[in-house]
Amino acid sequence: MVAAFLRLGAGALLALLAACSTVPERYAVPAVARETLQSFQIEGRFSLRYEQASYSGKIAWRHAPEGDDIFLMNPFGQGAAEISRRPGVARLVTADQKEFQAADADQLVADVLGYPLPVAGMGEWLLARAAPAGAAERDGAGRLLRLQEAGWSIDYDYGDNPSPQALPVRLTARRGEALELKLRIDDWSAQ
């Protein structure tokens, strides 16, 4: 009886050790190929430099074919602005609950914040997808490294993930010398 118990205990211990020694997959690849992703959520940090001013904070973004919901927070996580975009209407709510609406999200952001941000195109840029008219530079795995599109220059960084389906962890978008937006994506949820 004791010998059977010891064999059972030893077997359980070996199974536990084997489970603990399993190395998690180092490079997560989305269940759906990047080119076919329609919806995603990100959480991360941003820094924005426009002319002599600079801003930084946190960002949470939900993107789906029916629209976008973008939450901008100060570095301490308090709400600074909420931008929602649906077909034909965009809405921006500031931290002091002032609400603005327009037909175009890019124009709304430019009018309210005073500088242009590519809200409408950023969803595709976050997925490292270029429009047919964009000038794209790719790496050996076929991933977008640099994109020139709609007056913007976008640089991509995939961290140490070599997968052709890797999603970017850093993105830098520039419009001339006056505007630079950097995004550091801490969490991807691709659907």
Tell me the average pLDDT across 24-44.
69
Q: How far apart are CA 106 and CA 54, in angstroms?
A: 19
Query: Do the beta carbons of residue 62 and residue 86 sit within 8 Å?
Result: no
pLDDT value of residue 113: 83
Task: Tell me: pLDDT of 20 over 80.
Answer: no
| Cα 39 to the center of its chain, rounded Å | 11
pLDDT value of residue 18: 36
Return left, alpha or beta for 75; rule: phi > 0 is left, psi -120 to 50 is alpha, else beta.
alpha
Question: How much of the chain is helix, strand and coil, in % rounded to 5?
Answer: 20, 45, 35
In single-letter form, the type of residue at position 122 comes to M
What angle is formed at CA 162 by the lines to CA 156 and CA 164, rounded to 5 degrees?
Answer: 75
The DSSP 8-state label assigned to residue 177 in this structure reads T
pLDDT value of residue 24: 37
Mean pLDDT rounded to a whole number for the chain: 82
CB-CB neighbours of 83 under 10 Å: 22
In tens, the pLDDT along 55-114 reads 999 999 999 999 999 999 988 778 889 999 999 999 999 989 999 999 999 999 999 888
pLDDT value of residue 27: 43
Q: Give the end-to-end CA distance of the chain in Å, rounded to a whole number.
A: 52
Q: How far apart are CA 131 and CA 3, in angstroms?
A: 68
Segment among 4-8, 31-35, 40-44, 186-190 with least mean pLDDT: 4-8
Query: Do the beta carbons of residue 37 and residue 189 sit within 8 Å?
Result: no
In tens, the pLDDT along 118-153 reads 888 888 899 998 888 889 999 999 999 999 998 999
Which CATH superfamily hosts domain 39-190? Lipoprotein localisation LolA/LolB/LppX (2.50.20.10)
Q: What is the pTM of this model?
A: 0.78
Q: Which tokens hold the place of 172?
A: 């830098």
Q: How far apart are CA 84 and CA 72, in angstroms?
A: 11
Q: Strands of 1-75 (E only): list them.
A: 40-50, 53-64, 67-73
Q: How far apart are CA 93 and CA 74, in angstroms?
A: 15
3-state SS assignment for residue 185:
strand
